[in-house]
Amino acid sequence: MKKTLLYQIPNEIPQDIRHFVSGANIYDTSSSPGAKVYFIDKGNGYYLKCSNRGMLEKEFRMTKYFYSKGLSAEVLSYISNDSDWLLTTAVIGEDCIYEGYLANPERLCDTIAYELRKLHETDYTDCPLMDRTAEYLAVAEKNYRTGNYDKSHFPDCFGYSSAEEAYAVLTAEKDALQSRVLLHGDYCLPNIVLNKWKFSGFIDVGNGGVGDRHIDLFGGAWTLWFNLKTNKYRERFFDAYGRDKVDGEILKIVAAAEVFG
């Protein structure tokens, strides 16, 4: 994770949060245009995320829920005014794009597969978002209608030759996607934190909820391809997760949704 030291406290940080920031070094760790993320180097560390009003409400709820299951950071503050602000403790350890983990890709592949299977076996009866699959499909539908189609970030085995081909598959087969497990929703190496190879917690769980396991399975296979620059670990990942729960035909349906963002 890239950290850029800031030499003054950003003026827009709410007063109610400033006491966490006072006297600490602050780093900009943002990795996407959709949100600003600051690391506050104080105690064991804090993360402060800022986005447009209302954009972090689901992440707030799901982070609290994941924390209640021992799976994520503790939420310390959520403020929604002109912007959304979410303050959490830091999950101890390093995310899975740490060079020490990437240097052992077989172990890394097996580890994230095992942790995903454990997540999917977590009791979800009190989850605040009980039909993540419906939301997921609605986003794909909206993005298709607005022309948001990009298969450039997908390996050939998951790709479609055109938006129309992908949408035809999605329309015909989407009812096969079920809501039966607790999802991370953006299962990728940067969102999995290990501490000396031991699972420490998940971050960025705003797309989580109860949904079809193949959404996360697709993400796990994709992140190994994207971050390791090879697709050789795809089958190993599915084997380590457990082939009894992997359906290749449903993965193709998820792929049809993923090309629409």
pLDDT in tens, 31-77: 888 899 999 999 999 999 999 999 999 999 999 999 999 999 999 99
| Catalytically annotated residue among 84, 186, 212, 216 | 186
Angle between helices 213-228 and 105-120 (to 10 degrees): 160
Is the pLDDT reported for residue 19 higher than 90? no
The domain over range 4-89 is classified in CATH as 3.40.50.300: no
Q: Is 186 a catalytic residue?
A: yes
Average pLDDT of span 79-108: 97
pLDDT of residue 219: 97
Parallel, antiparallel or unpaired: strands 46-52 and 83-89:
antiparallel
CATH homologous superfamily for the domain 94-258: Aminoglycoside phosphotransferase (APH), C-terminal lobe (3.90.1200.10)
What is the domain partition of the chain in residue ranges?
Answer: 4-89, 94-258
pLDDT in tens, 210-237: 999 999 999 999 999 999 999 999 999 9
> Taking a C-beta distance cutoff of 8 angstroms, is the pair 71, 122 a contact?
yes
Residues of the chain with pLDDT > 70, as a percent, come to 99
pLDDT of residue 119: 98
Tokens 């970030």 identify what position?
153
Is the pLDDT reported for residue 179 higher than 80? yes
Average pLDDT in the chain: 94
Report in angstroms the alpha-carbon separations of 188 from 47, 115, 191, 219.
19, 12, 6, 6
pLDDT in tens, 105-161: 999 999 999 999 999 999 999 999 999 999 999 999 999 999 998 877 777 766 788
> Taking a C-beta distance cutoff of 8 angstroms, is the pair 260, 148 a contact?
yes
Please give the torsion angle defined by the CA atoms of residues 232, 229, 2 and 21, in that order, rounded to the nearest 10 degrees.
-40
pLDDT in tens, 196-214: 999 999 999 999 999 999 9
Report phi then psi at 163, rounded to 5: -65, -40
pLDDT of residue 108: 98
> Taking a C-beta distance cutoff of 8 angstroms, is the pair 83, 12 a contact?
yes
DSSP structural state of residue 90 = P
